Structure 1
Amino acid sequence: MLRLQKCILTQLLPSTSASTSPLHRLISAAAPAASPGPSFAVEDYLVSTCGLTRAQALKVSTKLSHLKSPANPDAVRSFLAGLGLSTADVAALVAKDPKFLCASVERTLAPVAVGLAGLGLSRPEIARLVSLAGEFFRGRSVASRLAYFLFLFGSYEDLLRVLKHSPNLLGCDLDRVIKPNVAFLRECGLGACDIVRLCNRVPWLLGNNPERVRAIVACAEGLGVPRGSGMFGQALQAVAFLSQEKITAKVEHLKKMFRWSDAEVGVAVSKAPAVLLKAKESLQRRSEFLISEVGLEPAYIAFRPAMLMYSLEGRIRPRYYVVKFLKENGLLDHDRDYYNTIVISEKVFMEKFICPHKKSAPHLAEDYAAACRGEMPARFISS
């Protein structure tokens, strides 16, 4: 096994001379530790050799007080350098996980690197994983967990995006936590792409207690969003960050702000669950503009709550004034539904409402751009 490890590590790590290569330093780390040095001080070592600030070193040195020699930390640093981690990377890693310096290169770190290389990860990819995973890289089962996640997420980059926010996934029990949660979400109608998208927004979800995940699903269904619907993933995202008390309070705020009945607020939340994550002040401004200025009926908004997800300053208000200007100047050939003017892309909006009027309203594009920046052109106000 050791011969196989050396073979794979030789391919992973850059070759120099036989005595100075990172591989040589990795394997030599298995040698007996040097005799304790009479002047070895952990805090000074962390500052002078590992690159930590004095404050960082003071904070983490207590976790390394048992070290009497730099032999093992030096071997770990050689291992990290061989993977390509910079001095700054090593300093950040040690500050986050000082016990990494106590890991055995031969028994733990090298076998993990061999396992990851066997999955097809390159040296830079392993280095990125070390920086993200920290203490979880020291677990001997990290390669088997990573193999499962690579299969689930489909690519290393997609997996990294989740691990950046939830590296503890690499420490979760696959059979008792991760796999049951994935199986349950699939039972709820979520496909692999849906689960990946959900994990990007709620990275801790898969590593949560399965009972908690079931409670989140039940809460999402309580919003009137059935399993398997297109909005179910969005509903899970919304309720994952809110307690039942906060959800109830937000629903009550929505009813008051938009003058909705119980039925109307139920429709709105089921069609756009993410509205629950919007700040109260932000929704209040939308309510005042859409109802008081635009003149939309509360029921109209309730059945089209997606409009509340767009920027008031950068989209809702500027487009309203463009359409208002065109109508009042007789430049629209027929009435347009306001909701449709909001949800279309910027490119389509320009093609339908700006470009056709370059001659009749030469300043329209300029005024629209100003409105999107938060400025209100005089032509829009006086129109």
Structure 2
Amino acid sequence: MLRLRRSLFSQILSSPSASPISHLRRLFSAAAPAVPPNPSSFSVEDYLVVTCGLTPAQARKASPRISHLKSPTNPDAVLAFLAGLGLSGADIAALVAKDPLFLCAKVEKTLSPVVVGLTGLGLSRSQIARLVSLPGVTFRCKSIIAGLEYCLALFGSSDNLLRALKGGSVLCSDLDRVVKPNVAFLRECGLGACDIARLCIPTPSLLSISPERIRTAVACVEGLGVPCGSRMFKHALQAVAFLSEDKITTKVEHLKKTFRWSDAEVGIAVSKAPKLLTMSIESLQRRSEFLISEVGLEMTYIVYRPAMLMYSLEGRLRPRYYVVKFLKENGLLSRNRDYYSAVKITEKEFVEKFICPHKDAAPHLADDYGAACRGEVPARFSFT
């Protein structure tokens, strides 16, 4: 069925002499049975299952929203349109399950003009097909063209735009009352176009919060000791923008209690690693117990190296500590070698600097390190 619709849509696109919808009607008439369908026999729920590919449960949930449909004429045209864009059956089923009202959109009045408008912005047909499938993209509304034109200029490329929209649609927010004022304010904070794009591609919802909220977030960031224009400002803003003031206060108090830090020390740590504020209390507690009780680090040492609190305890902090301790205990590494120097480097660098040079003196070290990364504690890593 979808193959037929794809073929029909291709014929529509290649027929400039007639309007797409009139050509579509003629093609469907030719493909349909001679006996016209009986409107009273049309079942929305059955149509969603049999023709659109929804599960019975999905169809039951979606059907009340389009219960006013009395015939398959418009839904068939919409499905032909989607198939012509290149969406698979699974893609179409997911779209209809997410937005059943898409089946009520008018191909000639809305969907086709949107495709023409987006093509004019430089988007390829495959990119448009990806847009249709993204959550929060109101493709059945012509205003999407103006929103996408603005966001395309903001994010710099269609690929960046699609990456941003995948994480949450800016297009759901009022362009003139929310998005543009937020962008203007971020510019006032010293962020250029590239900075804003890098900030918002991973967290596009940042542009969708109210202008009042983003101003409050910036004030909070500055209150934590991270000034606008600093290297960590973008990271701090990402961390606090979606946290309430109560949650931020709770996290700060927990950092003070767990590490026995002063307000000033918390400010230093957060300014260096703002994402500490997004970590759970449990994960911070486990890392503090390991670093302080087992590794023996001082509180002030961690203040100036807070990034280590965000590394995986099982996959990085603990196994690398075992290796460093083993090497020191066996005279293969200076006892003055800093633990953080072994933690902050990449996995490849760690292996090259701490494992490979000792393959003759400690041929088992690589296997023991691998076991430690899997959560085991090899006997050679146990010291009394």
Please state whether the residue corresponding to 2:382 is helix, strand or coil: helix
Q: Which runs of 5+ in 1 are unaligned?
A: 1-12
Note if contact 2:155-2:201 (Cα within 8 Å) is conserved in structure 1: no
TM-score (norm 1): 0.88
1:227 is displaced (CA, Å) by 0.6
Q: Summarize the Cα distance change of 1:257–1:18 in structure 2 as closer, same or farther, 3 Å threshold.
A: closer
Which letter does structure 2 place at the counterpart of 1:214? R
Q: Does 1:38 align with 2:33?
A: no
Structure 1 segment 167-186 matched on structure 2, within 5 A = 167=169, 169-186=170-187
Q: Summarize the Cα distance change of 1:260–1:125 in structure 2 as closer, same or farther, 3 Å threshold.
A: same
Note if contact 1:178-1:207 (Cα within 8 Å) is conserved in structure 2: yes
Partner of 1:187: 188
Partner of 1:232: 233
Q: Summarize the Cα distance change of 1:122–1:15 in structure 2 as closer, same or farther, 3 Å threshold.
A: farther
Structure 1 segment 100-119 matched on structure 2, within 5 A = 100-119=102-121
Runs of 4+ in 1 over 6 A off after TM superposition: 16-19, 33-36
Please state whether the residue corresponding to 2:87 is helix, strand or coil: coil
Number of residues of Structure 1 aligned to a counterpart in Structure 2: 367
Q: Partners of 1:159 and 1:380 in 2: how far apart? A: 49
Q: Summarize the Cα distance change of 1:310–1:69 in structure 2 as closer, same or farther, 3 Å threshold.
A: same
Q: Summarize the Cα distance change of 1:38–1:364 in structure 2 as closer, same or farther, 3 Å threshold.
A: closer
Q: Partners of 2:147 and 2:161 in 1: how far apart? A: 12
Match of 1:66 among 60, 65, 68: 68
Please state whether the residue corresponding to 1:136 is helix, strand or coil: coil
Match of 2:93 among 88, 91, 94: 91
Q: Partners of 2:13 and 2:180 in 1: how far apart? A: 45
Please state whether the residue corresponding to 1:230 is helix, strand or coil: coil
Q: Partners of 2:134 and 2:199 in 1: how far apart? A: 20
TM-score (norm 2): 0.88
Partner of 1:375: 376
Which letter does structure 1 place at the counterpart of 2:96? V
Note if contact 1:201-1:237 (Cα within 8 Å) is conserved in structure 2: no
Please state whether the residue corresponding to 1:375 is helix, strand or coil: coil
Partner of 2:286: 285
Q: Summarize the Cα distance change of 1:35–1:362 in structure 2 as closer, same or farther, 3 Å threshold.
A: closer
Note if contact 2:12-2:23 (Cα within 8 Å) is conserved in structure 1: no
Which letter does structure 1 place at the counterpart of 2:287? R
Structure 1 segment 226-375 matched on structure 2, within 5 A = 226-333=227-334, 335-375=336-376
Please state whether the residue corresponding to 1:382 is helix, strand or coil: coil
1:180 is displaced (CA, Å) by 1.6
Which letter does structure 2 place at the counterpart of 1:120? G
RMSD (Å), alpha carbons: 2.6
Identity of aligned residues (%): 68
Partner of 1:142: 144
After alignment, is 62-71 or 227-236 more displaced?
A: 62-71
Note if contact 2:136-2:171 (Cα within 8 Å) is conserved in structure 1: no
Q: Summarize the Cα distance change of 1:177–1:36 in structure 2 as closer, same or farther, 3 Å threshold.
A: farther
1:17 is displaced (CA, Å) by 11
1:29 is displaced (CA, Å) by 5.1
Deviations 1:237-276, CA, capped at 9 Å, x for gaps: 1112321111111111111211222222221122211111
1:106 is displaced (CA, Å) by 1.0
Note if contact 2:137-2:171 (Cα within 8 Å) is conserved in structure 1: no
Note if contact 1:234-1:274 (Cα within 8 Å) is conserved in structure 2: yes
Q: Partners of 1:133 and 1:110 in 2: how far apart? A: 20
Q: Summarize the Cα distance change of 1:162–1:135 in structure 2 as closer, same or farther, 3 Å threshold.
A: closer
